[in-house]
Structure 1
Amino acid sequence: MTGRSAGSPSRGPIQVTAIVPQLVHQTRPASPASSLKTRDGQTIRYLQLAHNGWDPVAKASKTRVLYSFGREDQLDIAGVRRLVDALSRLLDPADALAAAAPAGLSFVESRPLGGAWLLDGLWRWLRIDKILQPLVGSARREVDVERVLFALVANRALAPSSKLAASEWVCQDVHLPGLPHVTDDACYRAMDQLIEVEPALTRGVYDQIADLLNLEVDLLFFDTTSTYFELDEADEPLWRDERGTVVAEGDPVAVKQAGFRTHGKSKDSRDDLPQVVVGMAVTRTGIPVRVWCWPGNTSDSALIRQVKTDMREWSLARVVWVADRGFASAENRRFLQQGAGGYILGEKLRAGTAEADVALARQGRYATVADNLQVKEVNIGGDDRFVICFNPDAAQRDAAVRERLIAQLTDKIDGSDTLSATKRAELRGVISTKPGLNRYLRVTPGGLLRIYAAAVKAEQRLDGKYLLRCSDPKLSAEDIALGYKQLLEVERGWRDMKTTLDLRPVFHRREDRIRAHILLCWLALLLIRVAETGTGHTWGKIRADVERLHVGVFTGPAGTFCQRTELSQPQKALFAKLKITEPPRVINATPATA
């Protein structure tokens, strides 16, 4: 939503925009013949809402009474206010402000206020402003770095854009508390300072949210994603340590050469483009507590060890780490158990590991823990516990997908027996590029193509199932399964990062600014998760409700002042649930200079 000027057209329904400007600008409060005198000489005035319209037949202007208010001395002022408020709801916020302009004042423009006001309230409630101010206090007094960083975070949550566009958004399209304008250079300088104070900021923010939200960090969920760049060439390789940090050539900690934006295994199916790898840890309620960023060719396997080392510095109590199959190596499991820690990790069923084969072969009954989840714990020896989870709905979907793939494969190989050996080999090569089909293909000793019945039967055993490995002896099988299922909170975080907050496209090339951009997205995700947790609504609904709260600028001989629109009931409810003070009716006033 952008700022609106007094002359801009309304964006409401067509029938409203065609009529309301006439009601506002071409009506008069009373018709000339709306008064009479009593026998004692007293004049009684009657108020009417009338409209002058052109009569094409009579070729003259005629007055039509739209509404009668009754006697002036008995006017229901409260009723008039209700009528005006009801009519204002039909208008765009800018038009409503223009219609309510006080006498002698001109309406200049309107900008959205509600979203920025709500985010600023959460920002201050989490004391992020107090954490940042001593960290980024610089000699450049012409700009408040903390306010600029808040503006960039608010931009990601409300109208994601490049930093150049974000500066224009601040100056022209939104009313941000404490920041009337900003330049793109100030945005870049603020980002440079942000990345310098990242360790202190992330620790300070965690301490605040852990206290204010009573966070349960007995389970921490970790996963990674990748985000790509529209580039033809990757970054120049530089020497880096095992954490992906740039070091000098010859430094004892240097382990590899890699560009930051470089090619790797893409989780967005864009292996053709350079990327970076991003990791995130969230609580069981979906609150993101920290993000990390690595070069694009970094494999998942060792990352969780770095993450645990970083989090160890925060002096957390005993934590059980929850992660997907990519982090289940023996080295990772040993590392996660250090310091009385634990893990719940997904185990690969199709890898043919001894543990998976033995677990699936064990008999036993499933216990239903939810409508779509059944669990069975199996004892295969050793210190780890194994839980098989079964989702009946997922089993039906797996079976349907397999049947479709087998039908496609059958169609492709039908009649291939009559082909020459060369043509069959070519067909075999084509199918090998399609993993879903290739899984069910068998080649006979004579080179004939057949459906692999044994593979189909093996897959049937896995329909709707996944296997979990847990080191904690106290958690029940149900807790293990439900805990792992909450790993979806990380997936939800990535989905919101890439859609609502526009993690990509990233409009930066420097490594430090790419990292700063990801930090800004993390802070924005933190604010919207707190808003969702506090209200029970999605951020999409919250944003839609509060962004209709505008502030209008009025000017006249006495000066200029800003006044907000009336608060709707949904807006009042949102501010109340989040314990955010409602914005004042008059935001600020500037007397005219002599």
Structure 2
Amino acid sequence: MNVRRCTLKNASGGTFTYLQLVHNYRVKETGKTKTNVLMKLGREDQIDPSYIQDIIKALSAVFGDTTPGIAAGFEFHASKELGGPWIVDALWNKLGMANAIKGLLKDRQFSTPVERLCFAMVAGRILAPGSKLSLEHWVSKKAYIADLNDVDVHTLYRAMDLLVESNQELQKQVFSEVAKNARLDVDLIFLDTTNTYFETDEDISDSGLLKRGHSKDGHAELPLVSIAFAVTRSGIPIRCWVFPGNTSDQTIVEQVKQDLGAWNLGRVVMVQDAGFNSADNRRILLRECGDFIIGEKLRVGTDGAAVEALHRKGRFRVLENGLAIKDVVIDTGKATERRFIIVKNPEAESRDRVIRGQIVDAAKQKLKELSQYTGKAHTKAACALRSHSAYGRYITQDSKGLLHLDTAKIASEELLDGKFLVSTSSMKLDAADIVAGYKQLWSIERVFRDMKNTLDIRPVYHRLDDRIRSHILICWLAMILIRYAENVTERSWYQIEKALAAITAGLIESDKVNLWYCSDISDEAKDIFKRLNIVLPKKVIATVQKKRTAV
């Protein structure tokens, strides 16, 4: 066992040296030497000598005086991730999700710790997404999870079966606990749908989930499952549904409304982006889905009513979050009546103006450098400039074939700086709620994006319908924890996980006791614990007295 120095460079070119406690061992099969990192000690220039003294004091509290004879008996055997699992476990209990799982077990007899197994699957999906087989290794070798030293893939599958068997009851219990403990505002619920594909054959049975349909990931050739989420204003997904891949949005919304109505959450608004906007789709949404909020295109494809709304005069109302909104109703009292909300973001307005100014200045310079000839074919450089994705939009061509700045285009673009436009079927919803609802679409889409990226929902390693449903339930539970942590800490999950990554638990063994010891915790990580109101792990996390053997 020895201390290893690792030198790393940062983005600015500086170098830092980190210390690690490592153990070298020889692999019998190959005869090669390998190194196992037992504990990360931190940056060499930041390690306080008192840190070593703290370790000695903590050990002394367990063993008494650390005489040379006793100290020589200590062995550092393992190091595990602690920060991420500790935070996720604390939130799991704080939001009442542990109680919800335990509530399912009252009338069932299980010899395995089902709640701990469910937590391990959720924590693994957040911190180390992979197959259930890889979860075995993560729990036993990589992560410190309280009251769970290892798992078996077969017991994980049995726990998954319990989740899907209790799907309706589980979701209701989790919603009740989270709504109470997180004080959720559930007077308005937003809904959106997505799907995920499987690289396998389609299930041709009538009841199977794997069906070909419209793929939102551009894989029409592969079978899909459709997923729907009901999300609060704050972005917390309170319920999820899984449907066959060829299920229409109208059928999904009908089921969603029925299910949420049973929870006394009947006020559901369907939210769609501008890509879904057409007269036919709006009629379908109104007929099948009830109230909707839908994005409107500001440039190409903008319909006449939207153009009229954009140019309608009137004052903007400034909201608490800084956004300015204007409520416009077109064709009042007619069959073609439509309601639009124009939203202006002052920060985005300034940013758009600066970016366009930079593009226009660059276009001017390129026009000066361009060789143009009246009545002759364009040069290659002129064609490239005219068709350029950024500069070309502000350049026009006159009757003689010469290129100029399009001042009319620049002026029309200025009117759109920092704005977006939405329409709604509801004449009663407050304009601020409509804007919040459409902004929430980004949160819903982020839930889906996080499921596909942060949680690695794909590839799905399951093929049976029940296992697929259970897998998505686990992702839903994980997303609740992630979004709650992000809302409270005002950080992205990536930032949270990065700050917690350096917190590890080291296993110190002697002939009398095994001791799990916590590494140093950075100020940034302490701030995350404080914001979430979670107690920091103690230096000595756990001790296990060894049994004396009879002579």
2:331 matches 1:378: no
> For 2:52 and 2:74, how far apart are their aligned partners in 1?
21
2:182 matches 1:213: yes
Aligned runs of 1:162-173 on 2, under 5 Å?
Answer: 162-173=131-142
Q: 1:263 to 1:147 in 2, by over 3 A?
A: same
Match of 2:115 in 1: 146
- Asked if the contact 2:83–2:500 (Cα under 8 Å) also holds between the matched residues in 1, the reply is yes
> For 1:455 and 1:356, how far apart are their aligned partners in 2?
18
Higher mean displacement: 199-208 or 281-290: 281-290
What's the offset of the Cα at 1:470?
A: 3.5
| CA shift digits 1:56-85 (9 cap, x unpaired) | xxxxxxxxxxxxxxxxxxxxxxxxxx9533
Tell me the amino acid that sits aligned with residue 217 of structure 2: S
Tell me the amino acid that sits aligned with residue 308 of structure 1: K
| CA shift digits 1:542-591 (9 cap, x unpaired) | 33343433333233332x42222255364555444434344452344343
2:185 matches 1:235: no
Q: 1:16 to 1:581 in 2, by over 3 A?
A: closer
2:156 matches 1:187: yes
- Asked if the contact 1:223–1:324 (Cα under 8 Å) also holds between the matched residues in 2, the reply is no
Match of 2:505 in 1: 551
- Asked if the contact 1:302–1:332 (Cα under 8 Å) also holds between the matched residues in 2, the reply is no
| CA shift digits 1:479-511 (9 cap, x unpaired) | 433442233222332332233222223222233
Match of 1:526 in 2: 480
- Asked if the contact 2:272–2:293 (Cα under 8 Å) also holds between the matched residues in 1, the reply is yes
> For 1:580 and 1:300, how far apart are their aligned partners in 2?
40
Match of 2:460 among 503, 506, 521: 506
Q: 1:325 to 1:88 in 2, by over 3 A?
A: farther
Match of 1:264 among 215, 226, 230: 215
2:440 matches 1:491: no
Q: Which has the larger radius of gyration?
A: 1
Tell me the amino acid that sits aligned with residue 517 of structure 2: R
Match of 2:236 in 1: 287
> For 2:489 and 2:184, how far apart are their aligned partners in 1?
17
Tell me the amino acid that sits aligned with residue 124 of structure 1: N
- Asked if the contact 2:515–2:544 (Cα under 8 Å) also holds between the matched residues in 1, the reply is yes
- Asked if the contact 1:263–1:272 (Cα under 8 Å) also holds between the matched residues in 2, the reply is no
> For 1:167 and 1:138, how far apart are their aligned partners in 2?
28
What's the offset of the Cα at 1:238?
A: 3.4
- Asked if the contact 2:5–2:17 (Cα under 8 Å) also holds between the matched residues in 1, the reply is no
Tell me the amino acid that sits aligned with residue 84 of structure 1: P
| CA shift digits 1:455-486 (9 cap, x unpaired) | 99999987765432335555543443344223
What's the offset of the Cα at 1:363?
A: 4.1
Give aligned pairs, total: 492
Name the SS for the 2:104 alignment partner.
Answer: helix
2:147 matches 1:197: no
| CA shift digits 1:82-102 (9 cap, x unpaired) | 953346899xxxxxxxxx997
Structure 2 unaligned blocks of 5 or more: 9-15, 23-46, 56-65, 364-371, 378-386, 395-407
Match of 1:115 in 2: 84
Q: 1:488 to 1:587 in 2, by over 3 A?
A: farther
Structure 1 unaligned blocks of 5 or more: 1-5, 22-81, 91-99, 248-256, 408-413, 420-430, 441-453
2:515 matches 1:562: yes
Tell me the amino acid that sits aligned with residue 356 of structure 1: A
> For 2:107 and 2:544, how far apart are their aligned partners in 1?
28
Match of 1:106 in 2: 75
What's the offset of the Cα at 1:199?
A: 1.3
Name the SS for the 2:202 alignment partner.
Answer: coil
Q: 1:473 to 1:593 in 2, by over 3 A?
A: farther
Name the SS for the 2:230 alignment partner.
Answer: strand
| CA shift digits 1:129-151 (9 cap, x unpaired) | 22213425797744222211110
TM-score by length of 1: 0.65
> For 1:194 and 1:11, how far apart are their aligned partners in 2?
44
Tell me the amino acid that sits aligned with residue 236 of structure 1: E
What's the offset of the Cα at 1:390?
A: 4.5
Name the SS for the 2:454 alignment partner.
Answer: coil
What's the offset of the Cα at 1:179?
A: 1.3
| CA shift digits 1:258-311 (9 cap, x unpaired) | 35xx663426xx445544333222212121212223333444455333322221
Q: 1:481 to 1:580 in 2, by over 3 A?
A: closer
Match of 2:104 among 135, 143, 167: 135
- Asked if the contact 1:552–1:563 (Cα under 8 Å) also holds between the matched residues in 2, the reply is yes
Aligned runs of 1:228-377 on 2, under 5 Å?
Answer: 228-229=197-198, 231=199, 234-238=200-204, 240=206, 246=208, 258=211, 264-266=215-217, 270-271=219-220, 273-300=222-249, 302-316=251-265, 318=267, 322-325=271-274, 329-334=282-287, 336-337=289-290, 342-347=291-296, 355-356=305-306, 358-360=308-310, 362-367=312-317, 369=319, 373-377=323-327
What's the offset of the Cα at 1:110?
A: 1.9
- Asked if the contact 2:189–2:267 (Cα under 8 Å) also holds between the matched residues in 1, the reply is no
Q: 1:277 to 1:326 in 2, by over 3 A?
A: farther
> For 2:466 and 2:438, how far apart are their aligned partners in 1?
34
- Asked if the contact 1:385–1:470 (Cα under 8 Å) also holds between the matched residues in 2, the reply is yes
Match of 2:145 in 1: 176
What's the offset of the Cα at 1:180?
A: 0.9
What's the offset of the Cα at 1:182?
A: 0.8
> For 1:564 and 1:227, how far apart are their aligned partners in 2?
42
- Asked if the contact 1:217–1:319 (Cα under 8 Å) also holds between the matched residues in 2, the reply is no
Name the SS for the 2:189 alignment partner.
Answer: strand
- Asked if the contact 1:376–1:387 (Cα under 8 Å) also holds between the matched residues in 2, the reply is yes
CA RMSD of aligned residues (A): 5.3
- Asked if the contact 1:264–1:297 (Cα under 8 Å) also holds between the matched residues in 2, the reply is no
Tell me the amino acid that sits aligned with residue 266 of structure 1: D
Among all aligned residue pairs of Structure 1 and Structure 2, give the percentage whose two residues are the same amino acid.
Answer: 38
Aligned runs of 1:328-477 on 2, under 5 Å?
Answer: 329-334=282-287, 336-337=289-290, 342-347=291-296, 355-356=305-306, 358-360=308-310, 362-367=312-317, 369=319, 373-380=323-330, 381-382=332-333, 385-390=339-344, 465-473=419-427, 475-477=429-431
| CA shift digits 1:35-66 (9 cap, x unpaired) | xxxxxxxxxxxxxxxxxxxxxxxxxxxxxxxx
- Asked if the contact 2:188–2:269 (Cα under 8 Å) also holds between the matched residues in 1, the reply is yes
